[in-house]
Amino acid sequence: MPDKIAVVACSNACLDYFDYDYDIPIFRSTLHLGDEDYLDYVDISAEDFYQRLERDKSVFPSSSYMPLGQMIEIYEDLVAKGYNKAIVISISANMSGIYNAAQMAASSVTGLEVTVFDSKTLAYPQAKMALTAAKMAEEGASVNEILEELAYIRDNNKIYIAVNTLTYLVKNGRLSNASGFIGNTLKIKPLLTISEQGEVVTVEKIRTFKRAIEAVLDRYFEETKDKRVEPFVIHANNPEMRDYVITRLKEADPNLTDVFSMPLTAVVGAHAGPKTIGLGYYIKKEAL
CA-CA-CA-CA torsion sign (232, 48, 22, 73) = positive
Fill in the amino acid letter for 261.
S
Do 147 and 179 contact (CB within 8 A), yes or no?
A: no
- The whole-angstrom separation of Cα 240 and Cα 116 is 37
User: Which pLDDT score, from 0 to 100, does residue 184 have?
Assistant: 44
Across the range 81-94, mean pLDDT stands at 98
- Average pLDDT, stretch 83-97? 97
Give me the pLDDT at residue 167, please. 81
Residue 180 CA to residue 173 CA, distance in Å, equals 13
pLDDT at residue 174, as a whole number: 66
CATH number (3.30.1180.10, 1.10.760.10, 1.20.1260.10, 3.10.20.30) of 157-287 reads 3.30.1180.10
What is the spatial distance between Cα 114 and Cα 277, in angstroms, rounded to a whole number?
34
Mean pLDDT of 232-261: 95
Q: Is it the case that residue 92 has pLDDT exceeding 90?
A: yes
Band of residue 190 on the pLDDT scale cut at 50, 70, 90: confident
Class of domain 5-29+65-155: alpha beta
For 260-279, the pLDDT digits (tens) are 999 999 999 999 989 999 99
On average, the pLDDT of the chain sits at: 92
What's the rounded mean pLDDT across residues 181-201?
79
The answer on pLDDT for 1 being more than 70 is yes
Q: Per residue in 144-176, pLDDT tens?
A: 999 999 999 999 999 999 998 888 887 776 666
167 or 62: which leads in pLDDT = 62
Sheet holding 5-10, edge to edge: 26-27, 5-10, 85-90, 113-118
Q: What percent of the chain has pLDDT over 90?
A: 82
* Cα 127 to Cα 17, 123, 150, 183, 281, distances in angstroms: 10, 6, 11, 35, 13
Q: What value does the mean pLDDT take over residues 9-35?
A: 96
**Mean pLDDT along residues 101-124:** 98
Q: Which regions of the chain carry the CATH code 3.30.1180.10?
A: 157-287
Which part of the chain has CATH 3.40.50.10170?
A: 5-29+65-155
Check residue 183 and give its pLDDT: 42
Whether the Cβ atoms of residue 4 and residue 127 lie closer than 8 Å to each other: no
